[in-house]
């Protein structure tokens, strides 16, 4: 069983479209994250949820909206896609929250290409 799974693994879409990425973890962790890795390999945190509560919301355009229906799932919806949104989006989870996070377990990533 994959600990942190993301779908889809690849998305290719046109500018202006809307897309969603889903993430599920079966580790029983309380905290989940979205990280964006751009073409220069910089891993930047976007959002974090702890038990369905948003605890980290970085300076991310409003076109990005995370949703956590329960503590095992964290989805990312992106509206009006732009070229600069092309990146690999990683979902991650950890046992703890800020300050006592423990190791991050990453999903395999979802590569988004906006044409």
56 scored as a contact of another protein (CB under 8 A): yes
Report, in Å, the least distance between residue 56 CB and another protein: 5
For another protein, which stretch binds (CB under 8 A), given 14-22, 59-67, 73-81, 99-107? 99-107
**Contact pick of 43, 54, 63, 115 for another protein (by CB under 8 A):** 43
**Contact pick of 81, 103, 113, 115 for another protein (by CB under 8 A):** 103
95 scored as a contact of another protein (CB under 8 A): no
Instruction: Give, in order, the Cα–Cα distances in Å from 66 to each of 1, 6, 14, 39, 50.
Output: 25, 14, 21, 22, 13
* Dihedrals phi, psi of 16, to nearest 5 degrees: 95, -15
For another protein, which stretch binds (CB under 8 A), given 14-22, 61-69, 74-82, 104-112? 104-112
Angle at 111 between CA 86 and CA 38, to 5 degrees: 45
């Amino acid at each position: 069983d994959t600990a942190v799974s993301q779908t889809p693994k690849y998305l290719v879409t046109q500018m202006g479209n809307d897309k969603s990425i889903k993430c599920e973890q079966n580790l029983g962790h309380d905290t989940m994250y979205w990280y964006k890795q751009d073409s220069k390999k910089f891993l930047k945190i976007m959002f974090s949820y702890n038990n369905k509560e948003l605890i980290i919301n970085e300076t991310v355009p409003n076109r990005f909206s995370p949703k956590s229906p329960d503590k095992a799932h964290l989805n990312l919806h992106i509206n009006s896609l732009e070229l600069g949104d092309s990146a690999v989006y990683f979902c991650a989870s950890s046992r703890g929250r800020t300050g006592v996070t423990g190791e991050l377990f990453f999903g395999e990533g979802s590569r988004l290409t906006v044409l």
